[in-house]
A and B are shown apart, each in its own frame.
Chain A
Amino acid sequence: MSQYELAVILGMTAVTFLIRYSFFALGDKVQFPPLVKRALRYVPVAVLTAIVVPMVLLPDGQHWQLDWRNAWLLGALVSAFIAWRFNHLLAAMGGGMAVFFLWRWLLA
C-alpha cells in the first residue's frame, strides 16, 4: 500500500467517523430543545422514503418506469400494503421480495 493510499484511507476514516460520532459524543450531557426533538422524529421516515422512492420509480437510475412491468414498484407496493394492513414487518419484507423476484422471473 502506497503512502498516498494510506493517507486517503486515514482521511476518509477520520471524517466518516467524526460525522457518525458527532452527536453520540455528547452523551447525556446535552438535552436537545423540544423543537429539535420533534424534528428528529421525522428523520427516519424522511430519509428512508428519500432512499427508496427514486430506486422504485427509476429502477435503472435514469428512466421513469411507471407501469405494471416495474417489479421494483410492484414489490414495494406489496410490502407497503402488507405493512399497512397487517402491521407485520417480516411479512412485508418477505411478501414484497417474493412478488419482486416472481415478477422478474415471469417477465424475463
Chain B
Amino acid sequence: MTTMFHPTRHGELLQGARDSLPMLAGAAPFGIIFGTLAGPSGLSLLGAMGMSLFVFAGSSQFIALTLLSGGAGLAVIVFTTFVVNLRHALYSATLLPHVASLGQRWRIPLAFWLTDETFAVVQHRYGAADASPLKHWYHLGSSLAMYGNWIVWTLVGVLLGRSFEGLDKLGLEFAMVATFTGIVVSLLKSRPMVAAAIAAGAVALLARDMPYKLGLLLAALAGVVVGVLLEGRTASKEAQA
C-alpha cells in the first residue's frame, strides 16, 4: 500500500494497522451480528466474548452458532470448525518463509491472529520490493488491529442485543472486495498467474454451494494446480527454444 515510510518498528506497526482499515470496517458488521445472534443461539455473554477472544475466526464462529442452536454435539462443532478453517493452513505455509527466522514468541501470536484479511494485507507487504527487516512489525500491526476490532464489535453486538436496522445491507463488506481485488490485480504479472485466478474464480462459482467453505478450499487448490502446471509448460517450452 503506501510504501514511502521510514521502516521503524513503530512505523511498520502503524502502517500495518492503517492498511487493514478497510477490512476493519468490513468486519465490524459481522462482529456486531455475531454478538447479536449469540444470545438467541444459546451462547452466554461470556461464551460469545470467549469465542471472539480465543477462537477469533468469524466464519467458524457463525457456523458454530448455527450448530449450537441446532443442538449439535461437541465433536460435530469442533470437526466443522476444523474443516471451515482448513484454508488457514495454506496461509500458514505461504507466509512461513517470511516468519521462519522469527522466534516462537513471534510465530505463536502471529499464527493465532492469522485471518483472511491479515493474510491478504501482509503477503502484499512481505512481497514489496524494499528489504525492510521489520516487516513482521507490520504483520503484528495488522493482526492487533483486526483482533481489537473483532472483540470490540462483538461486545457491541452482545451489549446491544439487537442489530442496527439493515446493518448487514450497508455493503461494508465491499471494502474487503475492493482491497482483495486490488491486491489480486497487482499480482497478475504472468500468464500462469492470470490462469490461476481464472481457474480459482470459476471453481469458486461452480462449488459455491458446497458447505463449510469447502468450495473456497477447492477453488484455491484448483488455482494453484493450474498455475503450477502452466508455469511448468512455459518453462519447458523456453528450455526447448
Q: A12-B81, A72-B177, A97-B174 are in contact. Are A45 and B188 (CB under 8 A)?
A: yes
Partner of A5, one of B44, B89, B219: B44
Q: CB-nearest residue of chain A relative to B50? A: A9
Interface of A is mostly: helix
Which residues of the partner chain A approach B203 to less than 8 Å between Cβ atoms? Answer: 50
A68 within 8 A of B: no
Closest residue on chain A to residue B99 by CB atoms:
A24
User: What total count of A-B pairs have CB within 8 Å?
Assistant: 276
Are A52 and B51 neighbours in the complex by a CB distance under 8 Å? no
Closest B residue by C-beta to A10: B54
| B160 within 8 A of partner (CB) | no
Report chain B residues within 8 Å CB of A92.
Answer: 178, 181-182, 185
Closest to B203 in A: A50
The number of chain B residues with a CB under 8 A from chain A is 91
Say whether A1 contacts B1, CB under 8 Å: no
Interface stretch, picked from B5-13, B29-37, B90-98, is B90-98
CB proximity of A55 to chain B, nearest CB, Å: 6
| Residue in chain B with minimal CB distance to A93 | B178
Nearest A residue to B68 by beta-carbon distance? A8
A10→B178 CA distance, assembly (Å): 34
B114 in the interface (beta carbon within 8 A): yes
Is A106 an interface residue when CB atoms closer than 8 A count as contact? no
Q: What residues of chain B lie closer than 8 Å to A4, measured between beta carbons?
A: 74
The CA-CA distance from A87 to B128 in the complex, in Å, is 13
1/0 per residue, CB under 8 A from B, across A22-49: the answer is: 1111111000100111111111111111
Let me know if B181 and A46 touch, CB within 8 A: no
Chain A nearest CB, measured from B30 CB (Å)? 13
Q: Is B223 in contact with A9, judged by CB distance below 8 angstroms? A: no
Contact of B96 among A2, A23, A72, A76 (CB under 8 A): A23
Chain A to chain B: the 7 pairs with minimum beta-carbon distance, closest first: A46-B223, A92-B182, A50-B219, A96-B178, A42-B227, A83-B185, A11-B78
17 A-B interface contacts by CB (under 8 A): A8-B78, A20-B85, A23-B93, A42-B227, A47-B220, A48-B184, A49-B204, A53-B205, A71-B171, A80-B182, A83-B186, A84-B188, A89-B179, A92-B181, A93-B179, A96-B181, A97-B175
